[in-house]
Structure 1
């Protein structure tokens, strides 16, 4: 049997597509999200589904240890769970800032810390963090979201430096605009309408969550000595 893959935010979007891609190639998987029924509905073999809030480190770690007791140590964790609550910095509810900081940054840090020491001891393993193109360049209406994703990009690079001497890969994936549920988290209707108008202006956004999932799987399945440190993936028509 192949080695254990842990995927957070696996109930939709990139996470769900990652679950399908890894499962169909025989990887045992631990799928984590708050909507456990959506993960169970996939009915994937050699898969454990657990309702987990990634901001709760104890709950998060308990789920990983349970899966490891069945499938062996985690060889890959994909810290995909995230929130995108777009808003004008001058008017956005500060609770939305805190929600994104908790999920997008603390959730990723929790996932990394849970598996890092085991990976260092084995001198093998891969950590993949989902950042965003908004973690590399600023976008209007994205202030707090950019802050969290710039944070993910930065902490991933620091972790890569800390783990490289232990032969552990730490990769950052930075997708552009892709049709997922993320935009639906935003409560500002004007920003949603503006985002949709922008997509119409650049032409159809044809890139899919499955395209991103396949790219991530490709990066993981390269030899352990090959580290695609940072991957920016967007629709060809996206010019920003």
Structure 2
């Protein structure tokens, strides 16, 4: 029996790419979305549709899901992984960075959910997996706007779960601590980046994206009557 379609946003690197490899190896057709199409195609995964989509573009995201479902059948899950971490002090951080994080980390998640949820509700089955952060549960220095977006992901996920649980749709939040990804490179304040890197090294390093991908897949592969509502994971040496 063939496996159902899974949609992954932010799949060009880090957690998204690791999750794509793992789910593909288990036989799932995939829709991979990211702004860097060439990185998606370099994964060279079978039964995979790659599309250059910024998740802040809700129509492009919706159209990509429609195209993938026409090819592979209904989407059984979405992994809303696309996001940005732009650290800074509110007093002097460029407010455009706040806009980018709100658009990507909050609206992008909502757009991803909206693209697949009506079909899931109609079928009475499906899984929404939102990749958040430990920063969606507690605060960190110079993280104010970022933390706000990740607290929003946690809150939206829990409220969505309450809305759809009786319809057989599962909602899962994955909240990793520091992960070895490209996220930090997008921060423009060099001092904050240096401090973050030092903090990470003091904790003995960050999580490998593969570990987070395995948590995603573990939660997804539970029986449909079981929802692991949240997984919080971090390097053992990370205190915060």
Query: Into which bin does the TM-score normalised by the smaller protein fall?
Result: over 0.9
Equivalent pairs, count: 239
TM-score (norm 1): 0.98
* 1:57-76 correspondence to structure 2 within 5 Å: 57-76=58-77
TM-score (norm 2): 0.98
Gap regions ≥5 residues in structure 2? none
What displacement does 1:199 show?
1.6
Residue matched to 2:28:
27
Residue matched to 2:212:
212
Residue matched to 1:128:
129
* 1:1-240 correspondence to structure 2 within 5 Å: 1-205=2-206, 207-240=207-240
Q: Deviations over 1:180-232 (max 9, x none)?
A: 00000100101000001112222233x20000001100110110111110110
Question: Within 2, Cα distance between the matches of 1:131 and 1:203?
Answer: 22
Question: Within 1, Cα distance between the matches of 2:54 and 2:87?
Answer: 21
Gap regions ≥5 residues in structure 1? none
Q: Deviations over 1:33-73 (max 9, x none)?
A: 00010010111000000000101111000000000001001
- Dislocated runs of 4+, deviation >4 Å: none
Question: Within 2, Cα distance between the matches of 1:204 and 1:43?
Answer: 29
RMSD: 0.7
